[in-house]
Copies of this chain bind each other. A is one copy, B any other.
Amino acid sequence: MTQKIAAFLAERRPQTPCLVVDLDLVAENFRRFRDALPDARVFYAVKANPAPQILSLLAEQGSCFDTASVAEIEMALAAGAGPERISYGNTIKKESDIARAFALGVRLFAFDSQAELEKLARSAPGAQVFCRVLTSGEGAEWPLSRKFGCVPEMAEALMLQAAELGLDPYGLSFHVGSQQRDPAQWDAALATTAGVFRRLAAQGLQLRMVNLGGGFPTRYLKEVPSAQDYGNAILRALRDHFGNRLPDTIIEPGRGMVGNAGMIQTEVVLISRKSQEDPRRWVYLDIGRFGGLAETEGEAIRYPIHSARDDAAVEEAIVAGPTCDSADVLYERNAYPLPVSLEIGDKLLIAATGAYTTTYASVAFNGFEPLAAYYV
């Protein structure tokens, strides 16, 4: 926990559950990405945490913004980023939203299908477009499904068509999978994209940009490589596959930019056992899967959990949320070591929760308020 977060919690004593984000860590993460890949433009994935305080800070630092909707474009503009620093990176857009983004000045759009390309040609004429290519995504804690992207052969055909339709066929994007702990995964994806570049160049079409996507991890329970490790691996792969004609590059960190900057404070509501002989306690918190911890689905993301009794003896516990929903269990297969002396009313800190928490929170499930958040 940072001093700023500790001081805020001690002085303000906010109601739980709440998220507190240390903006200094966000600024530090931005600098690390910029230093690790000095030639790449950083597009912060707004969906990870769209708080105005984060967007303004990053806009001041010179960050660009990867957006998923017109609402996110408007947030980035409101934070002071010009439209030339905004990418409409969702491959699934209503044509009316494309037109609205274009009217707002956005000129960089993602797509992965013929129908989307035709929408862009009609409603964002002349814009720069990049096609998302399917890659394997091994090694990610949340491997992406095939929801986004198309096979390289289709990307080639679509980029040729983009030129015919009067769009600017700018480049390709891929995504190696969320919370990707293996920097080498960018290598295979860059080999694939370089192949598309070569085959299109042979047909007279010179692509200029590779969007390296997101996937940069946050440290949860396991150690992760540094931004510099990722930068080194990516630069090596770029040189291996593109030689001396390096393309423009974009990275889209979201989790890697804000994940470790936030900490959720929660209260223990109940501790119980299901029978006198039950070997495991159930520990119920005032936050759960529907209050912001949606990424515990399938126990995929295992957040570090701390208490003031961290030095005490520990014992495994099943950790669950406060709603009347039986699916609102955070960790059961992977029971958590928590202090034996833990008591109802104790405060716990859930670390590395700056990304993908506030906006995932449900409007009012079971009547509980969405997650409160403070930016210090």
Contact = CB atoms under 8 A, between A and B. Distances in A.
Interface of A: 45-47, 50, 67-72, 75, 89-95, 112-116, 119, 134, 142, 144-151, 153-154, 178, 267, 269-276, 282, 284, 286, 290, 294, 297, 320, 322-329, 332, 344, 358-370
A46 B367 contact: yes
B151 A274 contact: yes
State the main secondary structure of chain A at its contact with B: loop
A95 B344 CA distance: 10
9 contacts: A47-B323, A67-B367, A75-B367, A90-B323, A114-B272, A115-B344, A145-B326, A145-B332, A362-B363
A366 B90 contact: yes
Contacts of A326: 142, 144-145, 147-148, 178
Contacts of A151: 274-275
Contacts of A72: 366-367
A147 B328 contact: yes
Contacts of A324: 45, 47, 68, 89-90, 148
A194 B294 CA distance: 39
Given A50-B367, A145-B329, A332-B145, A92 B154 contact: no
Nearest to A46: B367
